[in-house]
Amino acid sequence: MSQARYSIGIDLGTTNCVLAYAEIAATQEPKQPAVSIARIPQLTAANEVSSQPLLPSFLYIPSERDFPPGSTALPWDAHPRYVTGKLAQRRGAEVSSRLVASAKSWLSYSAVDRTSALLPWKSVDGVPRVSPVEASAEYLKHLRSAWDFEHPEAPLAEQQVLVTVPASFDAIARDLTHRAAEAAGFPELTLLEEPQAAFYAWLDRHPDWRSRVNEGDLVLVIDIGGGTTDFTLVSVTGRGGQLDLERVAVGEHILLGGDNIDLALAHTVAAEITAKGTKLDAYQMQALWNNCRLAKEKLLEPGNTAEEIPVTIPGRGSSLIGGTIRARLARTHIEQVLEGFLPIVESSADPIGGRRAALQEMGLPYAADAAITRHLARFLRQQATASQTVRRGPSGLACPTHILFNGGVLHAPFVRERLRETIDLWLSEEGFGPVRVLDGEDLMQAVARGAAYYGVARTGKGVRIRGGIARSYYVGVESAMPAVPGFPAPVKALAVAQFGMEEGSSTPIPGREFGLIVGEPAEFRFFCSATRKSDAPGEIIEDFGDELEELAPVEVRLTAEGSGMVPVTFETTITETGVLQLWCVARDGRRWKLEFNVRETV
């Protein structure tokens, strides 16, 4: 937007939210503006508001007796309906039945209605619930209100806003993120992948990046957050005598991260408690899970030298205080648990599916195999054939030259070292030297910083990672001719996106109008080609034979008053998250959108 003063990057994380910003309209100088982290006012205790660099992604639904009247007031809201952030996380560790956590993971779960009120999951009767979309909207609303309170002269709704999502989010999860942002008062925003944002943060901190990598290098971004594990490959290429960056591969959606580790820690601590003669019920296990999350984060904070953190579990029955159970979470517990998540395996390893029960309790679809290294091995094997610019070994394995770590789980030195050790083993088997680690920054803030930097780069004051599409795409247009029994009308292919079209770009399709069927079910046929690289948008291929590969057809009913045919022209957009959007534009300004993913994913 032309009037924007700031580029604002928001990491809408599973465990924490972060807001970063850079001033883009203060000067016309070519110098790249600095990216800063905003401190977010939030409740840290009843009647206590403090500004923190992280907003924990937790929503607490208070009862009338939870807090004294007026004690949860915020500078911009005297009577908030929910408690968000640090106090929500702390209070929820005591009363888990009223705590909404991992809303982002639920947002990506297609087996449930993500717009229905289902959180807190397994809450007791009588507790109000919210949908994953509502919870996400509350976090974004808090960030918007906090920013507007601190910057009344530059409301967030008037800025250039970029919100990050996992690279593996599907189209529906991305759309629901947009819907949550709209509900939070964000009139316009751009979605950006988290691993790509982490790489942008590294570029922001290293203007001399061209002296740190060479043409032909391959950077593996490993992002292990609270809810998901994401893998991305970025290739260093040459163009016009200059080094360039190209994202060449994105991994599948793996619901495996800090939540899994926290639960494993809870079971480890629970086993010690049980050995002492005390058995925990389901309610207490949930509380222990939340408390282990808090204790783990404290132990892994940079500079913390403590060897253990006390953990308390509320008692049950009439004497809650007297029944409180006290335990401890030690660093040795964390290392013991992480060993199971990061076994050293062969590069030929595959995630283990295992035999599963025919009937299962509804819940998040966590990865069946918790071994992150096995998922990584499969990613590097399968992505080796996805691009010609990927450095490969004799076995076909994609062989990175560098690693960039991101995500709170990687605060643990053991995690970083084990991943590096495992990759070095694979590289040695392929005849390559050790991988090099790219020095990054704060693993909790890099994604938000990178998103803000990308907003700056879009103004021409930074480096952009190329992500041009690897194929040309076409939509089928039925020929206008009389119906003949037994002979379907011929279909022509209209080019809508040319090979190499950059992500984050749009193009109108010039030429004539076409008739769009609205108000009734209709089928859209799409085609692609990896060899026809020069077909510009608007070109029509009359007889394409086997030159084009047909994709799965899309059947949809486009809403409109009445039904029939509407003359339209086309516009094509490739989003920052690799989605091709084909806009059908009527003469009166009405617009309909068709979209599908053009990314290479495992």
Q: What pLDDT score does 62 carry?
A: 95
The torsion of the CA quartet 504, 507, 508, 510, rounded to 10 degrees, works out to: -170
In the chain, the N- to C-terminal Cα span, in Å, equals: 35
Task: Give the type of residue at 475.
Answer: V
Give the whole-angstrom CA distance, residue 423 versus residue 416: 11
Distances (CA, A) of 333 to 282, 343, 407, 520: 21, 16, 20, 59
Give the whole-angstrom CA distance, residue 101 versus residue 98: 10
H/E/C letters for each residue in 524-577? ECEEEECCCCCCCCCCEECCCCCCCEECCCEEECCCCCCCEEEEEEEEEEECCC
Residue intervals of the chain classified under CATH 3.90.640.10 are: 258-341
Q: Which fold has domain 213-255+372-449?
A: Nucleotidyltransferase; domain 5 (3.30.420)
State how far Cα 579 lies from the chain centre. Answer: 14
Give the whole-angstrom CA distance, residue 581 versus residue 570: 10
Q: Which residues of the chain have pLDDT under 70?
A: 1-2, 26-30, 240-241, 316-322, 354-363, 365, 383-389, 440-441, 467, 480-488, 599-602
Tens-place pLDDT, residues 572-583: 998 887 788 999
CATH code of 6-192, in short, is: 3.30.420.40
Q: What pLDDT score does 602 carry?
A: 34
Q: What pLDDT score does 357 carry?
A: 52
Give the whole-angstrom CA distance, residue 582 versus residue 58: 36
Distances (CA, A) of 585 to 381, 567, 572: 42, 8, 11
Taking the model in full, what pTM does it have?
0.82
* Nearest of 109, 156, 112 to residue 3 by alpha carbon: 156
Q: How many other C-beta atoms can be found within 10 angstroms of the C-beta atom of residue 40?
A: 23
* Nearest of 236, 201, 193, 257 to residue 36 by alpha carbon: 201
Strands 402-406 and 436-437: parallel
Token pair of 381, please?
A: 């094997």
* Nearest of 455, 362, 451 to residue 13 by alpha carbon: 451
Answer whether 313's CB lies under 8 Å from 283's CB: no
Answer whether 310's CB lies under 8 Å from 269's CB: no
Answer whether 501's CB lies under 8 Å from 418's CB: no
Residue intervals of the chain classified under CATH 3.30.420.40 are: 6-192, 213-255+372-449
Q: What pLDDT score does 600 carry?
A: 47
- Per-residue b or e along 151-184, where b marks 16 or more CB atoms closer than 10 Å to that residue's CB: beebebeebbbbbbbbbbbeeebbebbbbbbeeb
Answer whether 434's CB lies under 8 Å from 419's CB: no
11 membership: H or E segment, kind and range:
strand 6-12
The torsion of the CA quartet 7, 13, 18, 23, rounded to 10 degrees, works out to: -10
Is the bond into 120 cis (omega within 30 degrees of 0)?
Answer: yes
Task: Give the type of residue at 178.
Answer: H
Token pair of 428, please?
A: 């040695």
Tens-place pLDDT, residues 486-516: 566 788 999 999 988 888 889 998 778 999 9
Q: What pLDDT score does 553 carry?
A: 83
At residue 460, φ and ψ (nearest 5 deg) are: 95, 10
Task: Give the type of residue at 77.
Answer: D
Q: What pLDDT score does 488 carry?
A: 65
Strand partners, 558: none
Q: What pLDDT score does 219 carry?
A: 95
Q: What pLDDT score does 360 carry?
A: 47
- CATH top-level class of 258-341: alpha beta
